[in-house]
C-alpha cells in the first residue's frame, strides 16, 4: 500500500488561475495524491500565485508566508512543504525563491506536466532549482497560424485521452485534465492562453506568452464534462476572447462555438469574459445578444477613453466610439450587462484627459466599474515613460474616480428596477446592505461571479429556494450595486433576454 500523500491548492488571482489550479489538481489526483481543502491538513501546500499588479503580488507573498507558518509549526501540524506556482512564480523564478526562503520550491509553467514528480522530490527533501524567467512570447512562432501543435506548456489546455476511473463519469465524455476543487454550479473554461497585444502598461504577455486558442472540440468536451459534474453556468476565460480562432484559421470561430455550447445538456448559461473593444465584431455582438442561454454580457477592456492616453497605452478608440459601441449593443439587447476596468494617473494623463474619462463613465451606464491607479510594472514600456505623476496625485485621482464609479453604478442599478431576469441562486439566508435578511442571493445575466454585485431575493414565493436553481424574479429595489428582487413567474415567452 502506497504512502498517503496529501496536497492543498491555494489559488490567488483571476478565474484563469482557478482553471490552472484544477488542471494541477487533475494531474495530482491522477498520480494518487489526495486533495484536501485546508493547507493545514496537507503534506504540501501549493500556492497558485498572481503576478499582475503590486497588490496581487503582495497577496501572493502573504499566502506563501501564511503557508510557511503552518510548516514552521513542526510537530503541531502536518504541512511539510510549501510550493509556489502560477504567474508570480513564472515571472520571477529564481528571484522569488531567493527573496522567499519560506517556499521550498518555485515552479514555472514548464513544471506543470511533471507536478507530481516535482512535489514528491521536494517532499522527500530534494531540491528543484527554480527556473530562470524568459519572455514566453519568444517560445512560439510569430505567425499565429504556426502555433498550434507547438510543444510549449499552456496551463489549462490539458486534455489527455485517458485518466484513471473516478476523474470522469462512468459514461459519456472522458474527463479533461481537470479535477474540480469545489461544488459550485459555476465554473470557468479556458478558451485560450496568452495575448498578442502590446499594451504599454501590461506585462502579462511576457510571462503568459503569445495567443494560442484551444480547439473547439476540447472546449466542448470540457463543457460537457463540467455539466456532468453539476455545473450549469460556464464562463469562458482567456486574456483576450475576441481573438479566439485567429490561430485556427477562423477569427469568427467564437460565433459558431457559442451556439454549440448553449446546446450542451445541463448548461443553462454561458458567459464570455474579457472582450477587446477594438476587436468586437458586429457578428459577435449578434451572437452574444441573440443566442438563447448565452448571457448578453460585455466585459469590455476600455482602460481609458481619452485618445492621447489610449495611444500612449498602445490601444485604440475614444469616448465617442466607445459610447457608440455600447449603444449598438443596447439597441440589440436593452438589458445587456456591461463592465470595464480603467487606469488613472497614467504617465502624461492631463486634467482634460481625466475629464474626458469622466465624460465617458457618465454616459456609458456601466453595471460594474473597476478603477486602478497606475503603477510601474517590471519590463513594460510604460515603466520607462517620462511625465510620471507623483504617487499622491495618482491616489487623489483614484479616490475621485472611484467615488464617481460608485455613484454611477448605483444609478445604473436603479435603472434596472422593474426588470425581470433569471437569477442563479448561489447562497441562502443572506444579510442585505440595510441589515435585513434576504431569503437567497444570486446573480442575473449581467453579473459575473465575484465582480459585479448580486441579486438579493427577499420574497421566494412561499417556498425555500435551492442553491444551484434558476429563479425568475422582478427587480423591486437596490442596495448600492446590488439588486433586490421578488420571485415572480414570467409570462409565457418572457421578455427578450430575460431567460438568459
Q: Residues annotated as binding site for [4Fe-4S] cluster?
A: 14, 50, 87, 195, 199, 202
**Binding-site annotation: residue ranges:** 14, 50, 87, 195, 199, 202
Residues 6+ apart with CB under 8 A from 197: 205, 240, 276, 314
- Cell numbers for 429: 439566508
Q: How far apart are CA 149 and CA 26, in angstroms?
A: 22
Q: How far apart are CA 126 and CA 242, in angstroms?
A: 44
Residues 6+ apart with CB under 8 A from 387: 347, 348
Residue whose cell numbers read 465617458: 360
Residue whose cell numbers read 504599454: 200
Q: How far apart are CA 304 and CA 309, in angstroms?
A: 7
Cα–Cα distances (Å) from 420 to 416, 466, 480, 483, 500, in that order, read 9, 19, 19, 11, 11
Of 193, 267, 194, 189, the C-alpha closest to 235 is 189
Residue whose cell numbers read 463540467: 226
Q: How many CB atoms lie within 10 A of CB 154?
A: 23
Cα torsion 51, 55, 61, 66 to 10°: value is -130
Name the percent of the chain in helix, strand, coil, to the closest 5.
Answer: 35, 20, 45
Residues 6+ apart with CB under 8 A from 281: 242, 251, 252, 255
Beta strands in 194-249 (DSSP E): 212-213, 233-237
Beta pairing, strands 233-237 & 186-190:
parallel
Q: How far apart are CA 96 and CA 98, in angstroms?
A: 5
Length of the chain: 500
Cα–Cα distances (Å) from 138 to 207, 215, 391, 458, in that order, read 10, 22, 34, 54
**Residue 132 burial (CB < 10 Å; 0-12/13-18/19+)?**
exposed
Amino acid at each position: 500500500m502506497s504512502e498517503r500523500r496529501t496536497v492543498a491548492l491555494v489559488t490567488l488571482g483571476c478565474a484563469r488561475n482557478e482553471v490552472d489550479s484544477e488542471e494541477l489538481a487533475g494531474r495530482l489526483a491522477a498520480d494518487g495524491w489526495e486533495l484536501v481543502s485546508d493547507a493545514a491538513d496537507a503534506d504540501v501546500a501549493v500556492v497558485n500565485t498572481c503576478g499582475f499588479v503590486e497588490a496581487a503580488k503582495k497577496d501572493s507573498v502573504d499566502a506563501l508566508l501564511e503557508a510557511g507558518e503552518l510548516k514552521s509549526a513542526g510537530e503541531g501540524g502536518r504541512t511539510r512543504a510549501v510550493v509556489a506556482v502560477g504567474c508570480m512564480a513564472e515571472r520571477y523564478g529564481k528571484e522569488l525563491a531567493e527573496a522567499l526562503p519560506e517556499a521550498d520550491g518555485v515552479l514555472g509553467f514548464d513544471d506543470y506536466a511533471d507536478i507530481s514528480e516535482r512535489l514528491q522530490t521536494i517532499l522527500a527533501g530534494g531540491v528543484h532549482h527554480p527556473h530562470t524567467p524568459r519572455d514566453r512570447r519568444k517560445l512560439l512562432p510569430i505567425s499565429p497560424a504556426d502555433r498550434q501543435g507547438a510543444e510549449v506548456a499552456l496551463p489549462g489546455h490539458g486534455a489527455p485521452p485517458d485518466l484513471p476511473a473516478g476523474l470522469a463519469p462512468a459514461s459519456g465524455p472522458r474527463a479533461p485534465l481537470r479535477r474540480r476543487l469545489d461544488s459550485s454550479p459555476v465554473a470557468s473554461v479556458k478558451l485560450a492562453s496568452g495575448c498578442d497585444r502590446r499594451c504599454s502598461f501590461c506585462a502579462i504577455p511576457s510571462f503568459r506568452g503569445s495567443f494560442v486558442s484551444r480547439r473547439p472540440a476540447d472546449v466542448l468536451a470540457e463543457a460537457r464534462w463540467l455539466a456532468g459534474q453539476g455545473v450549469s453556468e460556464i464562463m469562458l476565460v482567456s486574456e483576450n476572447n475576441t481573438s479566439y480562432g485567429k490561430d485556427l484559421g477562423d477569427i469568427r470561430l467564437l460565433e459558431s462555438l457559442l451556439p454549440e455550447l448553449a446546446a450542451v445538456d445541463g448548461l443553462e448559461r454561458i458567459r464570455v469574459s474579457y472582450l477587446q473593444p477594438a476587436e468586437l465584431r458586429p457578428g459577435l455582438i449578434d451572437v452574444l445578444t441573440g443566442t438563447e442561454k448565452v448571457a448578453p454580457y460585455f466585459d469590455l477592456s476600455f482602460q481609458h477613453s481619452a485618445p492621447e492616453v489610449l495611444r500612449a497605452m498602445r490601444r485604440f478608440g475614444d469616448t465617442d466610439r466607445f459610447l457608440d459601441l455600447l449603444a449598438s449593443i443596447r439597441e440589440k439587447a436593452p438589458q445587456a450587462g456591461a463592465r470595464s476596468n480603467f487606469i488613472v494617473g497614467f504617465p502624461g494623463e492631463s486634467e482634460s484627459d481625466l475629464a474626458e474619462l469622466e465624460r465617458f463613465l457618465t454616459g456609458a451606464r456601466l453595471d460594474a466599474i473597476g478603477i486602478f491607479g497606475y503603477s510601474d510594472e517590471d519590463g513594460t514600456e510604460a515603466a520607462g515613460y517620462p511625465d510620471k505623476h507623483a504617487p499622491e496625485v495618482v491616489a487623489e485621482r483614484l479616490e475621485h474616480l472611484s467615488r464617481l464609479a460608485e455613484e454611477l453604478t448605483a444609478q445604473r442599478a436603479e435603472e434596472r428596477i422593474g426588470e425581470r431576469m433569471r437569477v442563479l441562486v448561489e447562497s441562502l439566508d443572506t444579510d442585505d446592505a440595510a441589515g435585513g435578511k434576504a431569503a437567497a442571493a444570486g446573480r442575473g445575466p449581467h453579473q459575473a461571479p465575484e465582480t459585479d454585485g448580486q441579486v438579493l431575493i427577499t420574497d421566494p414565493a412561499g417556498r425555500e429556494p435551492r442553491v444551484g436553481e434558476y429563479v425568475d424574479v422582478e427587480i423591486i429595489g437596490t442596495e448600492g450595486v446590488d439588486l433586490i428582487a421578488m420571485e415572480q413567474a414570467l409570462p409565457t415567452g418572457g421578455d427578450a433576454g430575460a431567460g438568459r
